[in-house]
């Protein structure tokens, strides 16, 4: 079980969190202007890195807030967590 540092609450065990997939995907402001390919890319195309991955977590059974984390997918080490809207460190 991971220990995840919530930027609002501090270190908590993984069972308090829910995973939210890749971070920094912004919903296009005007989806109607996108081609099918562009929209499909937004919907489905995700990174699958071996190593550093920016991803969303939500402290579901805590403060309830979403935040972003940088986790190494090979070691599960979490290099940093930061609030929504902040740039990755």
Partner 1 sequence: MSAHRTARGGRIERTRKLRFSFDGTAYEGLAGDTLASALLANGVHLVGRSFKYHRPRGILTAGAEEPNALVTVRRDAARETPNLRATQVELYEGLEASSQNCWPSLGFDLGRVSDFLSPLFPAGFYYKTFMWPRAAWAALYEPLIRRAAGLGRAPSRPDPDRYAQRYAHCDVLVVGAGPAGLAAARAAADAGARVILCDEQAEPGGALLDGGSAQIDGLASGDWLARECAALLANPGVRLLSRTTAFGYFPHNSVGLVERLTDHRADPPAGGARERLWQVRAREVVLAAGAIEQPLVFAGNDRPGVMLAGAAQSYLRRYGVRAGTRAALVTTTDAGYLAALDLHAAGVAIAAIADLRPSASALWADAAKRADIPVLAGATVNGTRGSRRVTGVTIGGRTLACDLVLMSGGWVPSVHLFSQSRGRLTWSDAARAFVPSQSAERERSAGACRGLYGLAAALADGAAAGLAAAKACGLAGIAHRHEVAGEEASREASGAAPREPAAGTGKAFVDFQNDVTSRDLALAAQEGFRSIEHVKRYTTVGMATDQGKTSNLNALGLVAARLGRTVPEVGHTTFRMPYTPVTFGTLAGSARGELFDPVRTTPMHDSAVARGAVFEDVGQWKRARFFPRAGEDMHAAVARECRAVRSSCGIFDASTLGKIAVVGPDAAEFLNRFYVNDFSGLAAGRCRYGILLREDGFVYDDGVIARLAPDRFHVTTTTGGAARVLAMMEDYRQTEWPELAVWLTSTTEQWAVIALQGPEARRVLETLAPGMDLSSAALPHMAVTHGRIAGVPAMLFRVSFTGELGYEINVPAAHGRAVWEAACETGGQRITPYGTETMHVLRAEKGYIIVGQDTDGTATPDDAGLAWAIGRKKPDFVGKRSIERAAMRSPDRRQLVGLRTREPQCVLEEGAQLMDRPGVTPPMRPVGHVTSSYASEALGHSIALAMVAGGRARIGQTLYLPMPGGEIEVEVTKPLFYDPEGARLHG
For the chain, what is the HEC assignment?
CCEEEECCCEEEEHHHCEEEEECCCCCCCCHHHCCHHHHHHHHHCCCCCCCEEEEEEECCCCCCCEEEEEEECCCCCEEEEEECCCCCC
User: In angstroms, what is the minimal distance from the CB of 16 to partner 1?
Assistant: 14
Judged by CB under 8 A, the residue of 47, 76, 80, 86 near partner 1 is 76
82 binds partner 1 (CB under 8 A): no
41 binds partner 1 (CB under 8 A): no
84 binds partner 1 (CB under 8 A): yes
Applying CB under 8 A, which residues contact partner 1? 1-3, 18, 20, 26-27, 30-32, 34, 36, 39, 43, 56, 58, 60, 64-66, 74-76, 84-85
């Amino acid at each position: 079980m991971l220990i995840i540092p919530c930027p609002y609450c501090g270190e908590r065990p993984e069972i308090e969190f829910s995973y939210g997939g890749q971070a920094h995907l912004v919903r296009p402001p005007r989806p109607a202007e996108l081609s099918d390919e562009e929209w499909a890319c937004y919907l489905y195309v995700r990174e699958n890195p071996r190593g550093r991955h920016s991803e969303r977590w939500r402290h579901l059974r805590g403060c309830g807030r979403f935040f972003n984390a940088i986790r190494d997918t090979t070691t599960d080490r979490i290099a940093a967590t930061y609030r929504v809207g902040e740039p990755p460190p």
